[in-house]
Amino acid sequence: MKPGDIQRLLDIMQQLRNPEGGCPWDQQQTYRSIVPHTIEEAYEVADAIERDAYTELQDELGDLLFQVVFYAQLAREESRFAFDDVVQSICDKLERRHPHVFGDKQITDADTQTIHWEQLKADERKAKSEPDRPHSALDGIAHTLPAVTVAHKLQKRAAQLGFDWPDEQGVIAKVEEELLEVRQAWSDPSARAAEIGDLLFTCVNLARHAGLDTETTLRQANRKFETRFRAMEQRLLQQGKDVTAATAGEMESAWLAIKEK
């Protein structure tokens, strides 16, 4: 068996779950208990890519692959499906969604491919719709995703049907409108929360119209804030001040100095 053979990983997973000599922690896990770990591993993959940490990326991709193997082992134990079935499913899907590569359909550019891809996915969602539940263009969006990602997907689906502003000016005007409504509702905690939610939703729409991935854009903003805040702390220390004891004015002055750099 080669060191990188997937069968080695499958065998390790099976042994970890083995009631005789396996790992007690792995034996206790369920589909639901693993979900937080899967989400965390996916974000660690994204983090390694954003930092260009490709040595770390290799390890993080392995951790993410292990999550897939774990779910497949649980399903195998319950006679639902096995890892080979997972591989077969994605192979079938990729071939079905790329008829211009694996079939005789003619697609010459990426934009046409994107339109065709979205139509194929829409057809698949419609085919999977439950008989007792009306089909919707918004079907298939996982609400366990980060809220800004769900907002982006909802808006994108609606836009594909023409339910959208024609350009960014309408969205900017809507942001200003929502901000005004936040101010007007500020004295009412319940209404204030609802209006801030509307404002956040509209800001996601603005990012989408700018051609930005909202989740990535917000992560970059988080990183920028963290970098500047840490630099502000160091600047204050160089001035003989601890950030916990600094005044708001001192912190603002240090912050502005960092921004100017």
Q: What is the mean pLDDT of residues 233-253?
A: 92
Percentage of residues of the chain with pLDDT beyond 90: 68
Give the model confidence (pLDDT) of 18-66 as tens digits.
Answer: 999 999 999 999 999 999 899 899 989 998 998 899 999 999 999 999 9
The model's confidence at residue 2, banded by pLDDT at 50, 70 and 90, is: low
Band of the pLDDT at 4, cuts 50, 70, 90?
A: low
> Which amino acid, residue 122?
A
- Which one has a higher pLDDT value, 141 or 125? 141
Q: Do residues 86 and 72 make contact, with C-beta atoms less than 8 angstroms apart?
A: yes
- pLDDT for res 55: 93
Percent of the residues in the chain that have a pLDDT greater than 70, as a whole number: 97
Instruction: Name the CATH topology of 6-97.
Output: Helix Hairpins (1.10.287)
Q: Domain-by-domain residue ranges, the chain?
A: 6-97, 104-140, 216-260
Distance CA 112, CA 115 (A): 5
Average pLDDT over residues 84-92: 96
Alpha carbon distance 256, 233 (integer Å)? 13
What pLDDT sits at residue 70?
98
pLDDT of 129 above 70? no
Q: pLDDT for 182-191, tens place per residue?
A: 999 999 999 9
Question: Which phi and psi angles does 63 have, rounded to 5°?
Answer: -60, -40
pLDDT at 218 over 70: yes
Residue 151 burial (CB < 10 Å; 0-12/13-18/19+)?
buried
Backbone angles phi, psi at 26, to 5 degrees: -65, -35
pLDDT of the residue at 146: 87
Q: What is the pTM of this model?
A: 0.64
Segment 220-236 mean pLDDT: 93
Token pair for residue 236? 């204050």
Could you report the per-residue pLDDT of 130-151, keeping only the tens digit for each?
667 777 888 888 888 889 999 9
Question: In the structure, what pLDDT confidence band is assigned to residue 97 with cuts at 50, 70 and 90?
Answer: confident
Task: Say yes or no to pLDDT of 238 above 60.
Answer: yes
Residue labelled with tokens 């309408």: 170
* pLDDT category of residue 3 using cuts at 50, 70 and 90: low
Task: Considering only the C-alpha atoms of the chain, give the largest distance between any 2 of them, rounded to a whole number of Å.
Answer: 71
pLDDT at 152: 93
Is the model's pLDDT at 206 over the cut of 90?
A: yes
Given a cut of 80, whether residue 124 has pLDDT beyond it is no
If one compares 201 and 2, the residue with the highest pLDDT of the two is 201
On whether the CB atoms of residues 137 and 157 are closer than 8 A, the answer is yes
* CB neighbour list of residue 71: distance below 8 Å, 6 or more residues apart: 31, 34
